[in-house]
Structure 1
Amino acid sequence: MHDSSMDQRAVGFLLGLIDADAAARIRRRIGAPPPGANARRVAQAVLRLTPVPSSVLVWILEEDDPELNAVVYGHRSADVAMRRAVLRGVPFGPSRTIPLPVDRVLRKHADEPPVPQDVVARGLVGALRAATAMGPARTAASMVLGRRDWQTVTAADLERPLPGYARWALSVRPDCPPALRAQFGSHAKFAHRVRQAGVLAGPAAYATEHGPAAHVLKVLSLGPATFPGRVRDAEDALRPLVREHLDDREEAWAVLAQLIDTFHGTAPELIMTAGAIA
């Protein structure tokens, strides 16, 4: 097996989708390490160094966990809006309505950027309506924080459509509600920008449609410790393929472990290829 933590984590994620006894036997056969202790702490350390689509950070924020929020705050893929939301304790999970406590270290050492003057002067919706270029639109859009603000923006756009730049800036926000993005209408340029911004349709789509497989599976391997509420969708999408094409076949898993380092396709393509070769 290629000796890299990325490959080990990627294969380990898939092994977690089969019977535990069979998985332990296959780990011994292909030289994969067993699941380690302190999984959450290790996952947080790996996450800090791993580039991820911006939607993954939103999935983590949905856990409404101050410790995880602090990791998101320091991540290279976090934008100004995410960092501002973390410092304000804005809840992202569906069941929480009151602000979150802020991580002690963040509270002591991080300062929230000032509210843009245009938002101070015009209000949130007024600043969005006044945006005649992408820069001001992004600045105004960065002040949409939490469900109440998204509801306000949705109502404003229904009353009178927001300008194109504002819609564009809001659409590429990974926490933009899908219904609002659909309300903005379909446009090829919008769709392209949304993809470029790392906005994903969901964990199942990420698991089955994106590549390269090794990186996608590595990111998903962090899920049980950092976005458990979302990773199950990815597991459910891949489990039938793993059981059909790999299951407890040691040779198939050995082939997968050999292929994964250089395979550029999606996870389903990797799984089916390894099974077919074996």
Structure 2
Amino acid sequence: MLDDTTRLAVGLLLDLTDDDTAARVRARIGLHSGEPSRLARRRIRRAWNWSPVPSSVALWTLEQDDPQLNALVWPHLGRNTGLRRAVVRGLPFGPGRTAPVPVDPKLAGEEPEIPGSYVRHGLVGALRAVDSMSRARAASSMVLTREDWSTVAEADAEQPLPGYTRWVLSIRPDCPPALRARFGTHAKFTHRLRQAGVLDGPAAYATGHGPAVRVLEVLAMGRLMFPARVPDAERALRPLVHRHLGNREEAWAVLAQIAETFHGTAPELLMTAGALA
């Protein structure tokens, strides 16, 4: 009997193969057509039970500019005070969008306190006055709009911002990639970004993060929560599904059996299942 997480994960992968193979595999492992979609909707409604997700995944959801989704993802914004502030102010996240986003009533009055340094010195002054990580987090929480990020980039180009400020801004998932690259590109920096949940994109998440079953579950829910982003992940996974599993029912059955306890990435899971079958 497959658990719900595995059903979501396998269901996502089956959608990347042909209809005949998918039907035969579903019959083999006892996964009904349409079941993953129902599970995804149910899992989304139970957001408080989710395991932690990378901050970039939360941003992809915010990019839908949907008040209900914003409220669902709110508990998973963690210490991203800037994202929290933007949500409760109704600021849009979707590319090219400018219209304000209605705020879910549950989030009314939830805006974090405005830091005193911002009141005294303004945005750039507050970012330059930073001398600790906590003050950097507070000042950086006032970087909210695309115009704010442009102001930050101009200020840093004129005179580099303090190290604390640069780091806190760089681990914001909404930090413009060009600005983040200016803050650092060496291996240690990019490794720490990854640990902080900043992803290069859905394809990198699908193929480079684990455990595989958890990543695939998130992507399955992503069809409802960040549908514009999921196709990139599917394009990265589809050739791997065809290469390692293809239309072999036994390989798919092995995948379903080992997915729950497999700790590697999705490509490693697919390769292992294909080799064991």
TM-score with structure 1 length normalisation?
0.92
The one-character-per-residue Cα deviations of 1:150-179 (angstroms, maximum 9, x if unpaired) are 111111111111111110111111111111
Q: Distance in 2 between matches of 1:39 and 1:64?
A: 23
- The 8 Å contact of residues 4 and 39 in structure 2, kept in 1 or not, is answered as no
Sequence identity (%): 61
Of stretches 204-213 and 18-27 in structure 1, the one that deviates more from structure 2 is: 18-27
- The 8 Å contact of residues 208 and 268 in structure 1, kept in 2 or not, is answered as yes
SS across alignment from 2:261: coil
Matched, 1:49 2:72: no
2:34 maps to a residue whose letter is P
Shift of 1:205: 0.6
1:73 maps to a residue whose letter is W
1:59 maps to a residue whose letter is W
Describe the shift of the 1:115–1:77 C-alpha distance in structure 2 as closer, same or farther (beyond 3 A): closer
The one-character-per-residue Cα deviations of 1:33-88 (angstroms, maximum 9, x if unpaired) are 43246576424225442221111000111111111111121336462222211111
1:132 maps to a residue whose letter is D
Q: Distance in 1 between matches of 2:78 and 2:110?
A: 19
Q: Distance in 2 between matches of 1:46 and 1:35?
A: 19
In structure 1, the partner of 2:69 is 68
Q: Distance in 2 between matches of 1:78 and 1:57?
A: 12
In structure 2, the partner of 1:263 is 262
Matched, 1:204 2:235: no
The one-character-per-residue Cα deviations of 1:78-130 (angstroms, maximum 9, x if unpaired) are 622222111111111112112111123333xx431221111111111111101
Aligned-CA RMSD value: 1.8
Q: Distance in 2 between matches of 1:85 and 1:248?
A: 46
Of stretches 13-22 and 186-195 in structure 1, the one that deviates more from structure 2 is: 186-195
Matched, 1:231 2:238: no
Shift of 1:243: 1.4
In structure 2, the partner of 1:141 is 140
Q: Distance in 1 between matches of 2:249 and 2:223?
A: 25
Q: Distance in 2 between matches of 1:47 and 1:238?
A: 26
Q: Distance in 2 between matches of 1:54 and 1:142?
A: 15
Shift of 1:32: 2.0
Describe the shift of the 1:217–1:38 C-alpha distance in structure 2 as closer, same or farther (beyond 3 A): closer
SS across alignment from 1:57: helix
Q: Distance in 2 between matches of 1:245 and 1:223?
A: 24
2:45 maps to a residue whose letter is A
Q: Distance in 1 between matches of 2:65 and 2:49?
A: 21
Q: Distance in 2 between matches of 1:91 and 1:263?
A: 38
- The 8 Å contact of residues 53 and 77 in structure 1, kept in 2 or not, is answered as no
Q: Distance in 2 between matches of 1:181 and 1:154?
A: 10
Describe the shift of the 1:44–1:94 C-alpha distance in structure 2 as closer, same or farther (beyond 3 A): same
The one-character-per-residue Cα deviations of 1:197-224 (angstroms, maximum 9, x if unpaired) are 1111111011111111111111111111
Q: Count residues in correspondence.
A: 275
Matched, 1:92 2:93: yes
The unaligned stretches of length 5 or more in structure 2 are none
- The 8 Å contact of residues 252 and 274 in structure 1, kept in 2 or not, is answered as yes
The 5-angstrom pairing of residues 20-35 of structure 1 reads 20-35=19-34
Q: Distance in 1 between matches of 2:227 and 2:247?
A: 25
Of stretches 36-45 and 86-95 in structure 1, the one that deviates more from structure 2 is: 36-45
In structure 2, the partner of 1:59 is 60
In structure 1, the partner of 2:194 is 195
- The 8 Å contact of residues 91 and 97 in structure 1, kept in 2 or not, is answered as yes
- The 8 Å contact of residues 69 and 86 in structure 1, kept in 2 or not, is answered as yes
Describe the shift of the 1:78–1:64 C-alpha distance in structure 2 as closer, same or farther (beyond 3 A): farther
1:49 maps to a residue whose letter is N
In structure 2, the partner of 1:6 is 5
- The 8 Å contact of residues 123 and 142 in structure 2, kept in 1 or not, is answered as yes
Q: Distance in 1 between matches of 2:149 and 2:77?
A: 24
